[in-house]
Each structure stands twice: as structure tokens, then as C-alpha cells.
Amino acid sequence: MIGLGYVGLPLAMTVARSGFPVIGFDIDPGKITMIETGQSYIDAVSHQVLSAQTSSGRFRATTEFAKLAICDVIVICVPTPLTKHRDPDLSFVTKTSESIAATLRPGQLIVLESTTYPGTTDGVVRPILEATGLKSGRDFFLGFSPEREDPGNKDFETSTIPKVVAGDGAEAAALMDAFYGAAVTTVVPVSTTATAEAVKLTENIFRAVNIALVNELKVVYEAMGIDIWEVIDAAKTKPFGYMPFYPGPGLGGHCIPIDPFYLTWKSREYELPTRFIELAGEINSAMPRHVVDRLAEALDIRSGKALSRSHVLIVGLAYKKNVPDIRESPSLKLIELIEARGGRASYHDPHVPKVPSTREYGHLKDRPSVALTERTVSGFDAVLIATDHDDIDYASLAEWAQILVDTRNAFGRRGISGANIVKA
């Protein structure tokens, strides 16, 4: 397993538990050290599970890519971010493929799991591997299987989530089916690697577009004096033809804010517009600014204080509840927007004790989470609920805070009301 992050480490544990000896590769020596001591840094993998697999000898981790030569199956689970211009950044995939090519031998199965645009496996990975003189389908075998991890979801784990698989040719397809079929409960074969790549994009575009729809409806209904949360709760009682999606302060995570733009980029090659997808992206990207506008309005109306002279507490730095993952979190953008308007921003998150290093928000690195006490909370001009973690004392927050701006309906869902609560 190359890349021992949110995708690679849970998959490594699943494959090891199915009986395969597994080597995990990562360029971060800190991760290797933690694994060697049985300490997991991913919520989906407990310390007990990791320790059991390392102590049994079924799993070991290394930074030495020369050991790829001894592996029969190599799975690529590396990041695929966007550039500043929203173009795909496949540098991690290409560098990893080059590392694999350095030790590639006949009989190996190479699998890409990283989310990408249709045609990457065949058009990017395959040429790098075939530059060695070995041929896909004859000497080595190539496949794609999109990751489907959902951090924080206790109802599913890697082994119980159906796995879409595809191979470059009939033999590769059979090997993909055999390998994943030994580790997960359900395998869903599709005809080509490009189809499998499109499956992943379709899943996340579906979510991005529907979230954009309810975000837009929230703004419209807000102007009409209608509560979007009440509308959704009533609409979802319909047993057919409707699926509930919920608004928020923006999109976060590595998938939904990024994956749609892989398709919009690829579609330009075919001179085809993707207006629907791009519009959804614009709506979702605009939500943090809308929330800050509502925050400024609430401060002005309720306390007569400008945002530029206010100190705001953001509750929740992670992009979704009950996880420590801050990738693409709208909370980071909220902090930036508040401070760009002259205000001060602090945060509380029980899962994120301090801000880790990020590419775009390096200036926030090591900023600590503040405690939620009556003295602390009452000292802020406003409290903004950005992520609705379960282990927050919302009743006390409602009692202590001067102004509460709730982007997740955290108080409404708990039956907590108050004149200081503003939905945004």
C-alpha cells in the first residue's frame, strides 16, 4: 500500500486481516514510527487493530521504496489535489508510478485507488510503467478501484463498502476481482478502468450538486423568512422521489470540493461545457462569505458592534462532525474571511487540539483550540457553529454565548432555542 493516509491505512488493515502479508509505504517517517509503536493516527483504524496486525507480522511499514520489488500487488493511495487554477495535480501519482517502474517485474498487479479523471490509469500510469519495456496485460497487470472511505461513519468500514473494480484487459480484471474479493464483502466489476474512474467522480458530483442546491435554497428561503431545515425535515417524509441533503458553511474534505473539477478539466479536451458542475462549485465556494455576512449582520443588529471590532469563536475546525480531518475545511476559510475584515477569530474543536500544517493556510499553523468554559465563551462577541460535533455542550453554549450563529441547525435539532441564536 503506497500512501498510508485516510485511504491507505484502513485498506492495509482490511487486506492484512484477510490473510495477506502487507507492506505499507509512505514518505513520512513520522507515520512509520507511529505504526511501529502501534499508534494509529487515523480514527478509522484503532490502536488495537493496528497493533494486532503489526505484532502478528502481517503488516509492516517502511519508507524504502526499493522493497516494492517483493510485492505481488501494489496499490496506489496517494493524494490527487487541485492546483491554484483548479487543474488536476497528478504529481503524486506520476512520482509514485515512476517509483514502481524502478522495480517493476513480470506478474505484478498495479492498482490505482486515487481519485482522478477518466483515462488516468490508461493514459498516465500505464505509459510510465510500460516505459520499462514490460507490457500491461502481458508482463504486468493494471487496474483501478476507487476509494469509498467515509471518515466518521460508524455504519461502514472498508471491508463492508462495495468495491468497484476494473482491469486493463480480461486477465487484469480477473485478478482485481480475486484480490479485492478476498478482502471485502462485495465486488462490483465494471468494463474499463475509465468507467471505474468515472464512477467515483459521479458519486461525488452527485453530492456536490445537491448540496449546492440546498445551499442556494437556504439563501432564497432565508430572504423569505422560511426555515430551510424545517422544509427539509418535512420534505424527507416523502417515501419516494426525494433524498435529503443539508446546507452548511461550505464544502470540505478531500473529495467533494475537488473531484468535480477533475471532470470539468477533462471535459475541455472534448470541447464540452460542464455548466451544472461549475455552477454548483461556485455556489458552494460562496457559502463561507455568505456566513460571514450573516455573522456581521447579527453583530451589528444585536450588539451594535462591527465585525472589525469583534472577537469570534468558531466551533468546529474539522470539515465534518466527529472527525479530526481539516482538509479543505470551510472553517479555515471562515477564519481567513473574519480576519480579513479586521475581526479576530479563535476556534474550539475537541478533535483538533491545534491547527496542523496546510498548504493554503500555513499562517494558521499551531493555533490552539480554546476551552469551552463559561468564562471563555462569554468573553467572545459571537460564537459561530461551523461543525456540529456530537461531544459539544450545546445547552451550555446557548446559555453562555452573547450571539450564536448556527450554520448546522445544531441547536434546532436538539430542541434548544434562544433569542441569541441566529441560523445562517
Q: Residue 260, class by beta-carbon neighbours within 10 Å (0-12 exposed, 13-18 middle, 19+ buried)?
A: buried
Cα→Cα distances 137→93, 134, 144, 225, 360, Å: 20, 9, 14, 61, 41
CB neighbour list of residue 342: distance below 8 Å, 6 or more residues apart: 306, 307, 308, 309
CA distances (Å), origin 305, targets 6, 312, 338, 382: 42, 12, 14, 10
Q: What Rg value do the Cα atoms of the chain yield, rounded?
A: 23
Q: Within 10 A of 345 (CB to CB), how many other CB atoms are there?
A: 21
Give the β-pairing of 109-112 and 141-144.
parallel
- Beta strands, E only, 130-244: 141-144, 163-167, 187-189
Which cell is 322 given? Answer: 466527529
Identify the CA nearest to 114 among candidates 7, 219, 261: 7
**Which residues, 6 or more positions from 179, have their beta carbon under 8 angstroms from its beta carbon?**
73, 109, 111
Asked if residues 386 and 380 have their Cβ atoms less than 8 Å apart, the reply is no
* Candidate list 13, 34, 255, 345, residue with the active-site label: 255
CB 232 within 8 A of CB 246: yes
Active site residue 255: yes
Q: Which residues are catalytic?
A: 255
